[in-house]
Amino acid sequence: MVFEFLKGQFIDVIEWTDDTRDTMVWRFERYGNAINYGAKLTVREGQAAVFIHEGQLADTFGPGLYQLETNNMPVMTALQHWDHAFQSPFKSEVYFVNTRRFPGLKWGTKNPVMLRDPEFGPVRLRAFGTFTIRVADPARFITEIVGTDGEFTQDEIAFQIRNIIVQKVSRVLAASGIAVLDMAANTHDLGRIVAEAIAPTLADYGLTLPELYIENISLPEAVEQALDKRSSMGIIGDLDRYRDFAVAEAMQAAAGTEGGGMGAGIGAGLGMGMGMGMSGRITQQPQPGPWGGAPHAQQPGPWGTAPQAAAPPPPPPIEKVWHIAEDGHTKGPYARADLGRMVADGGFGRDTLVWTAGQDGWQRAGDIAELAQLFTVAPPPPPPPAAPQG
């Protein structure tokens, strides 16, 4: 009975089944019991077991099944001065270290990073992403970071690593010389540079950084809005040409299909209606008095009715715009003044085919009275040079 009692005080099986996702180190609790010589040690894949004997780092075991004896505990044997016939229990602390990857840890710049952009000048940037840590040297990790903590989680070290990453990211972005608009295409290389820069520091902790991702690099909101406006201006291009194009498109939509007389009439009526509407708004404004004084109210006529206002002037005629057929393509629209300049430059002639809203098909420019006048202004081509006398 005494033998059975003493045997129950010794630990015969040492193992750790991890049922969490964030524990990096777990201490095997002895509860005052000694470890029996010849006990079974089970180290699973993704684990390592570190023995601490009387405050000193002893042996480290990788994945496998071990029987704790002098032949596989060389450091412990040296510390205890054991001989090969040693059969007594011993007391040691056993720490299981999780050596798998801990992914999905987040980092981000708390304050903007100031740098000088080659295109925009001084700018402020923010960046964020994710990283992965892994214990590469369990013994060093125990001595440098964990100490005597019986249950060490990833959150206890992630904060420190996050600060290191942010510091290195700030330096790399400021010294990269890459334009802000090109950084999105270089996040992979920037992340690799940051990971290589902090590798020596993490090696001192017994850690590695298998993955580091820069997911986003952003400008302040006000700068992004200004950049969006600049992009919109670049898409529109020349505002004057864009306005002329919009007016011509609206006139064609009002005129209907090509050669439609009714559509042309509707378009003209629409233009006159718009002009009359604008003139009507003008005539509704108060008019000054007869001697230039303050505006006076309309007085009723002799028969009790208000006098009729003078008829507004007719709206100015809508200037036609013309399209040119050249090499199977349509160019334009062009105003008559534009065509006059093209005549002077030699890019528009009498035989050029043109079309405008309300016109029945394409016609030669010289056959249209409005355009034929353009060619009477330009001088005829000069005669060929005279042949030299023999």
d(CA 67, CA 44): 15
> Quick one: average pLDDT of 203-225?
90
- The interaxial angle of helices 261-283 and 239-255, nearest 10 deg, is 120
> Quick one: average pLDDT of 186-207?
93
Determine which of 128-142, 150-164, 195-209, 374-388 has the lowest per-residue pLDDT on average.
374-388
User: Which pLDDT band holds residue 195 (cuts at 50, 70, 90)?
Assistant: very high
- Region of 374 on the Ramachandran plot (φ > 0 left; ψ -120 to 50 alpha; else beta): alpha
Tokens representing 52? 């601490």
pLDDT in tens, 95-113: 999 999 999 999 999 888 8
Maximum average pLDDT range among 154-163, 217-226, 251-260, 348-357 = 154-163
Q: What is the sign of the dihedral through the CA atoms of 278, 279, 284 and 288?
A: positive
What ranges do the domains of the chain cover? Answer: 2-98, 102-223, 238-264+320-377
Are residues 368 and 355 in contact, defined by beta-carbon separation less than 8 angstroms?
no
How confident is the model at residue 191, as a pLDDT? 92
How confident is the model at residue 262, as a pLDDT? 44
Domain 102-223 has CATH 3.30.479.30: yes
How confident is the model at residue 150, as a pLDDT? 86
Tokens representing 206? 């017994």
> Quick one: average pLDDT of 264-268?
47
Are residues 90 and 54 in contact, defined by beta-carbon separation less than 8 angstroms?
no
- Which helix (H) or strand (E) covers residue 103, if one does? strand 102-108
> Quick one: average pLDDT of 259-269?
48
- Answer with the residue of higher pLDDT: 313 or 30: 313
Mean pLDDT for the chain overall: 78
Topology (CATH level 3) of domain 238-264+320-377: Dna Ligase; domain 1 (3.30.1490)
> Quick one: average pLDDT of 197-208?
94
pLDDT in tens, 270-290: 454 444 444 444 445 555 554
Is 353 a residue whose pLDDT tops 50? yes
pLDDT in tens, 318-339: 678 888 888 888 888 888 888 8
Q: Which residue blocks in the chain are alpha helix, DSSP H?
A: 2-8, 74-80, 138-141, 155-176, 187-205, 221-236, 239-255, 261-283, 336-345, 369-377
pLDDT in tens, 36-92: 778 899 999 999 999 988 788 888 999 999 988 766 776 766 666 665 555 667 778
